[in-house]
Amino acid sequence: MDDMIQLTEEQKKRRRSRSVAIAWVLGALVVLFFIVTIVRLGGNVASRSL
């Protein structure tokens, strides 16, 4: 497989920064969904009896 595509350093840098940006967006969505869930369930969820 000598015909593999070789990325330049600039392309590698852009790919990494794009991956980091996607990771931040996904993390923010997880936090947002968590907060919305807690708000919808109410503040007493943590203090309820099991």
Q: pTM of the prediction?
A: 0.67
Q: What is the pLDDT of residues 19-34, one digit of tens each?
A: 999 999 999 999 999 9
Q: Which pLDDT score, from 0 to 100, does residue 43 have? A: 66
Tokens found for residue 16: 């990494």
* Cα dihedral 24, 26, 32, 38 sign: negative
Non-local CB neighbours of 2 within 8 Å, separated by 6+ positions: none
The residue-averaged pLDDT of 8-27 equals 96
The b/e string for 5-22 (b: 16+ C-beta within 10 A; e otherwise) is eeeeeeeeeeeeeeeeee
> Residue 3 — φ and ψ, nearest 5°?
-95, 25
